[in-house]
Amino acid sequence: MPEIKVTPLGAGQDVGRSCVLVSIAGKNVMLDCGMHMGYNDDRRFPDFSYITQNGRLTDFLDCVIISHFHLDHCGALPYFSEMVGYDGPIYMTHPTKAICPILLEDYRKITVDKKGETNFFTSQMIKDCMKKVVAVHLHQTVQVDEELEIKAYYAGHVLGAAMFQIKVGCESVVYTGDYNMTPDRHLGAAWIDKCRPDLLITESTYATTIRDSKRCRERDFLKKVHETVERGGKVLIPVFALGRAQELCILLETFWERMNLKAPIYFSTGLTEKANHYYKLFITWTNQKIRKTFVQRNMFEFKHIKAFDRAFADNPGPMVVFATPGMLHAGQSLQIFRKWAGNEKNMVIMPGYCVQGTVGHKILSGQRKLEMEGRQILEVKMQVEYMSFSAHADAKGIMQLIRQAEPRNVLLVHGEAKKMEFLKQKIEQEFHVNCFMPANGETTTIFTNPSIPVDISLGLLKRETAIGLLPDAKKPKLMHGTLIMKDNSFRLVSPEQALKELGLAEHQLRFTCRVHIQDPRKEHETVLRVYNHLKGILKDYSVQHLPDGSITVESILIQATAHSEDQGTKVLLVSWTYQDEELGSYLTALLKKGLPQSAS
């Protein structure tokens, strides 16, 4: 039985270091190649030695697919391709290809320059790695080789995020990467057609959450910013450079536009500026509003948002500043925070989750006095707000995607085991499909039942559909023909043609059967009675009485002769070919029951 094997090297019952191996119909595909934020040792990258101990990875993998540019999905790529060694194709969407190297370079800098690690990939390696990348468009079917093809669908998680369908013959797998089913200010919602894959590998970050509507959160956020600005306060929004930052920028930009506000908004320079540039370019990947209005004005050409300069922080009057990094643990955002923390008119809004130990986490948990470097005590008087803007599908969204794609099996990755358990149970209960949740390194095998395409000659098809009632899409149809298996291909042809091709002579197989009937009448009268009887019963068939005294029902011949010894017994000779077996045996059974007595 054909099977699909899935082994997560990372992200199995875990978040981070996404890397899933899939073998489907003899092809091996690696989905994502991420790093883990939580570790600084070998565990930060997936264990590629699982694939092969020695020898190039290229021989074992047909292709690598990267779903989006977040480091936990692409962070290990240069290590994998340059240091471990892989020369095959790497597929990603255009925006991912554009933004991914920026993030990788940034990651490299932090690890090598700041933490002083050696034996890490170099800038040149990133460049070499990116040369192996093949960019794909949405809904474009890419032939990796003759049998393997992949296709990208919109995922809406970040710019350029995609879900991938991997297909070999009739077997297919869909890998979602991270996705979002509710649209936001700059991206649309994930969408997939009814592709009915054998397996759907989906993320399950929010497996146990059903979220409130996005609008409340947006409104709250805007209201808070607006109020503070009106009061003359300053607002600090610590963000990570990509993704949510752009959404919040758009949100504030449009709000400023709508409300005619004048207070300045600043965006800390560097990485983000470069990224914004790409957002401007990839308008087709954004949501309906941005796509429709970019002719008048590209929404990412911010009118109210300007680049930030260190000196601006001391300017009087209200302002809004987006600064990196998002958890207030270092850099510009922390500097600004220290400057502004003392004033109760000011506000800091944390738009995402903060890791324990960071300043962000401390202030969110209500700490009002912070100990900074050098034993300084910083008293926090400014208001502290938390706003969650997350771009993962919630439980309902995941279910919705499953409903849209109609997979035969579901496999959960990228989530916590306990939460997955709940979702797994729900999926099995509501869709009646198998659901799996392998841990890292654990292999799941899924048996498939692929349909096998067979070429049929047009003549035969037309002939067979002409017989019988209307063709029905949903029901299997019985067909008569000859299956020829030759040179690794299947063909269904009419028997005559098959005989001709194979150079065989046709043999006819005929069944004959004698049925004894007690009837004292003359032969032709008996024949007439049989004829009337059959005609009465077989209304849908053509029953004919031939002049030579025989009866035909379709192609079945019935002849009657008097029994040589007993004149009162008539012998009915029924003869049919092999093809008419069904009708013929029915007829004999019918005749064996005898003729109705009432017939006069």
Partner 1 sequence: QQQHEDLSAKKLRLTKPSKSAALHVDLCKATSPADALQYLLQFARKPVEVESVEGVVRILLEHYYKENDASVRLKIASLLGLLSKTAGFSPDCIVDDAINTLQNEKSHQVLAQLLDTLLVIGTKLTENPSVRMRLVEVACKHLTDSSHGVRNKCLQLIGCLGPVEKGVVKEVESQAAKDVQKIIGDHFNDQDPRVRTAAIKAMLQLHERGLKLQQAIYSQACKLLADDYEQVRSAAVQLIWVLSQLYPESIVPIPSSNEEIRLVDDAFGKICHMVSDGSWVVRVQAAKLLGSMQQVSSHFLEQTLDKKLMSDLRRKRTAHERAKELYSSGEFSSGRKWGDDAPKEEIDTGAVNLIESGACGAFVHGLEDEMYEVRIAAVEALCMLAQSSPSFAEKCLDFLVDMFNDEIEEVRLQSIHTMRKISNNITLREDQLDTVLAVLEDSSRDIREALHELLCCTNVSTKEGIHLALVELLKNLTKYPTDRESIWKCLKFLGSRHPTLVLPLVPELLSTHPFFDTPEPDMDDPAYIAVLVLIFNAAKSCPTMPALFSDHTFRHYAYLRDSLSHLVPPLRLPGRKLVSSPVSPSITPHEDPSQQFLHQSLERVYNLQHLDPQGIQELLEFTIRDLQRLGELQSELAGMADFTATYLQCQLLLTKALQEKLWNVAAPLYLKQNALASAAAKQILEETYKMEFMYSGVESRQVVIIHHMRLQAKALQLIVTARTTRGVEPLFGMCEKFLQEVDSFQRCFISELPHMQGSFVDKLLDLMPRLVTSKPSEVVKILQTTLRQSTFLHLPLPEQLHRATANIIEPTGESDNPLRFTSGLVVALDVDATLEHVQDPQGTVKVQVLYPDGQAQLIHPKPADFRNPAPGRHRLITQVYLSHTAWTEPCQIEVRLLLAYNSNRSKAAAKIPKSTWSESLEALPQSENGIEGTIPFSKAVKVYIMPKPARR
| Residue among 273 and 430 whose Cβ is closer to partner 1 | 430
Residue-level length of the chain = 600
Q: Where are the alpha helices (DSSP H) in 50-148?
A: 71-74, 77-78, 94-108, 123-131
257 is a contact residue toward partner 1 (CB under 8 A)? yes
Binding segment for partner 1 among 68-76, 85-93, 362-370, 495-503 (CB under 8 A)?
A: 362-370
596 is a contact residue toward partner 1 (CB under 8 A)? no
Q: How far is the CB of 490 from partner 1 (least distance, A)?
A: 22
Separation CA 150–CA 173 (nearest Å): 10
298 is a contact residue toward partner 1 (CB under 8 A)? no
598 is a contact residue toward partner 1 (CB under 8 A)? no
Q: How far is the CB of 365 from partner 1 (least distance, A)?
A: 6
Calculate the alpha carbon distances from 449 to 1, 148, 167, 170, 407 in Å. 7, 18, 14, 9, 13
The owner of tokens 């450079």 is 241
Calculate the alpha carbon distances from 557 to 316, 586, 595 in Å. 108, 13, 18
Binding segment for partner 1 among 208-216, 319-327, 520-528, 584-592 (CB under 8 A)?
A: 208-216
419 is a contact residue toward partner 1 (CB under 8 A)? yes
208 is a contact residue toward partner 1 (CB under 8 A)? yes
Binding segment for partner 1 among 255-263, 445-453, 508-516, 548-556 (CB under 8 A)?
A: 255-263
408 is a contact residue toward partner 1 (CB under 8 A)? no
593 is a contact residue toward partner 1 (CB under 8 A)? no
193 is a contact residue toward partner 1 (CB under 8 A)? yes
| Residue among 375 and 475 whose Cβ is closer to partner 1 | 475
| Residue among 14 and 385 whose Cβ is closer to partner 1 | 385
The owner of tokens 């797998």 is 173
In this chain, which of 40, 284, 343, 365 binds partner 1, going by CB under 8 A?
365
Binding segment for partner 1 among 128-136, 331-339, 448-456, 467-475 (CB under 8 A)?
A: 467-475
In this chain, which of 386, 511, 541, 586 binds partner 1, going by CB under 8 A?
386
465 is a contact residue toward partner 1 (CB under 8 A)? yes
Looking at residue 334, the DSSP 8-state letter turns out to be: H
192 is a contact residue toward partner 1 (CB under 8 A)? yes
**Contact (Cβ atoms closer than 8 angstroms) between residue 262 and residue 272:** no
Contact partners, residue 148, CB within 8 Å, separation at least 6: 27, 29, 62, 63, 166, 167, 168
In this chain, which of 364, 382, 556, 557 binds partner 1, going by CB under 8 A?
364
Token code pair at residue 245: 């930052």
Q: How far is the CB of 256 from partner 1 (least distance, A)?
A: 10
| Residue among 91 and 302 whose Cβ is closer to partner 1 | 302
Calculate the alpha carbon distances from 290 to 29, 247, 254, 299, 306 in Å. 35, 12, 11, 6, 20
Token code pair at residue 14: 């875990």
DSSP assignment string, 15-34 = SSS-EEEEEETTEEEEE---
262 is a contact residue toward partner 1 (CB under 8 A)? no
Listed residue (167, 163, 171) closest to 203, CA to CA:
163
512 is a contact residue toward partner 1 (CB under 8 A)? no
Separation CA 351–CA 248 (nearest Å): 9
225 is a contact residue toward partner 1 (CB under 8 A)? no
* CA angle 107–110–111, rounded 5-degree value: 85
In this chain, which of 52, 400, 457, 497 binds partner 1, going by CB under 8 A?
400
120 is a contact residue toward partner 1 (CB under 8 A)? no
> Residue 467 is inside which H or E element, if any?
none
Listed residue (45, 50, 76) closest to 61, CA to CA:
50
**Contact (Cβ atoms closer than 8 angstroms) between residue 108 and residue 95:** no
Q: How far is the CB of 497 from partner 1 (least distance, A)?
A: 22
Looking at residue 333, the DSSP 8-state letter turns out to be: H
Q: Where are the alpha helices (DSSP H) in 385-522?
A: 395-405, 417-431, 458-466, 495-502
582 is a contact residue toward partner 1 (CB under 8 A)? no
183 is a contact residue toward partner 1 (CB under 8 A)? yes
Binding segment for partner 1 among 392-400, 452-460, 538-546, 587-595 (CB under 8 A)?
A: 392-400
| Residue among 81 and 390 whose Cβ is closer to partner 1 | 390
Q: Is 523 exposed, middle or buried, given 0-12, 13-18 or 19+ CB atoms closer than 10 A? A: middle
Nearest-10 crossing angle of helices 395-405, 417-431: 40
Separation CA 159–CA 329 (nearest Å): 26
Catalytic residue among 117, 146, 149, 203: 203
Q: How far is the CB of 251 from partner 1 (least distance, A)?
A: 9
| Residue among 46 and 360 whose Cβ is closer to partner 1 | 360
Binding segment for partner 1 among 90-98, 188-196, 313-321, 566-574 (CB under 8 A)?
A: 188-196
- The answer to whether residue 253 is catalytic is no
* Contacts to partner 1 by CB under 8 A: 182-183, 185, 188-189, 191-194, 208-220, 222-223, 226, 254, 257-260, 287-289, 350, 364-366, 383-386, 395-396, 399-400, 403-404, 419, 422, 425-426, 430, 465, 470-474
Q: Which residues are catalytic?
A: 203
